[in-house]
Amino acid sequence: MEHIEQQGSGQIRALEGQYGLDYLNLRNINNIYWNLTTAGLYEQIIRRREGLLSHLGPVVVRTGAYTGRSPNDKFMVKEPSSEKNIWWGKVNRPFEESQFANIWRRLQAYLQGDDVFVQDVFIGTDKKYRVPIRVITEYAWHSLFVRNMFARILDPEELRSHVPEYTIIDLPKFHAVPDDDGTNSEAFILVNLAQKLVLIGGTSYAGEIKKSAFTLMNYLLPDQGVLPMHCSANVGQDGDTALFFGLSGTGKTTLSADPARALIGDDEHGWTDRGIFNFEGGCYAKVIRLSEEAEPAIFKTTRMFGTILENVSIDSYSRRPNLDDASFTENTRASYPITHLDNIIEEGNGDHPKNVIFLTADAFGVLPPISKLTPEQAMYHFLLGYTAKVAGTERGITEPQATFSTCFGAPFMPQHPSVYAKLLGEKLETHKVSTWLVNTGWTGGPFGEGERISIKYTRALLNSALEGKLDQVEFEKDPVFGLNVPKQCPGVPSEILMPRNTWKNKSDYDTKARNLADMFIKNFKEYTDFVDPSVVHSGPKTQT
Query: What secondary structure does DSSP assign to 293-349, as a single string?
Result: TT-HHHHHHTTSTT-EEES-EE-TTT--EETT--SS-S--EEEEEGGGSSSB-TT-E
DSSP 12: B
Catalytic residue selected from 74, 130, 333, 427: 333
Q: Residue 177: count other Cβ atoms within 10 Å of its Cβ.
A: 12
Is residue 27 annotated as part of the catalytic site, yes or no? no
Biggest CA pair distance of the chain: 78
Catalytic residue selected from 134, 211, 340, 427: 211
Catalytic residue selected from 63, 137, 250, 253: 253
Is residue 252 annotated as part of the catalytic site, yes or no? yes
Is residue 55 annotated as part of the catalytic site, yes or no? no
Answer for the pair 490, 469: CB distance below 8 angstroms, yes or no.
yes
Q: End-to-end CA distance of the chain: give it in Å, rounded.
A: 77
Beta bridge partners of 198: 168, 191
Answer for the pair 256, 243: CB distance below 8 angstroms, yes or no.
no
Catalytic residue selected from 54, 69, 272, 302: 69
Is residue 514 annotated as part of the catalytic site, yes or no? no
Residues with Cβ within 8 Å of residue 65, at least 6 apart in sequence: none
Is residue 267 annotated as part of the catalytic site, yes or no? yes
Task: Give ∠ CA 408-458-292 in degrees, rounded to 5.
Answer: 95
Give CA 449 to chain center in angstroms: 31
- 445 — alpha (psi -120 to 50), left (phi > 0) or beta? left
Q: Are strands 475-477 and 353-360 parallel, antiparallel or unpaired?
A: unpaired
CA distance 50 to 63: 10
Answer for the pair 447, 362: CB distance below 8 angstroms, yes or no.
no
Catalytic residue selected from 248, 329, 418, 542: 248
Answer for the pair 138, 45: CB distance below 8 angstroms, yes or no.
no
Is residue 211 annotated as part of the catalytic site, yes or no? yes
CA distance 123 to 94: 25
Is residue 248 annotated as part of the catalytic site, yes or no? yes
Is residue 127 annotated as part of the catalytic site, yes or no? no
Interior/surface letters 490-519, b for 16+ CB within 10 angstroms, e for the rest: eebeeebbbbeebbeeeeebbebbbebbeb
Q: Residue 77: count other Cβ atoms within 10 Å of its Cβ.
A: 23
Answer for the pair 334, 301: CB distance below 8 angstroms, yes or no.
yes
Beta bridge partners of 478: none
Catalytic residue selected from 130, 134, 210, 252: 252
- 124 — alpha (psi -120 to 50), left (phi > 0) or beta? left
Looking at residue 197, its amino acid is L
Active-site positions? 69, 211, 230, 248, 252-253, 267, 333
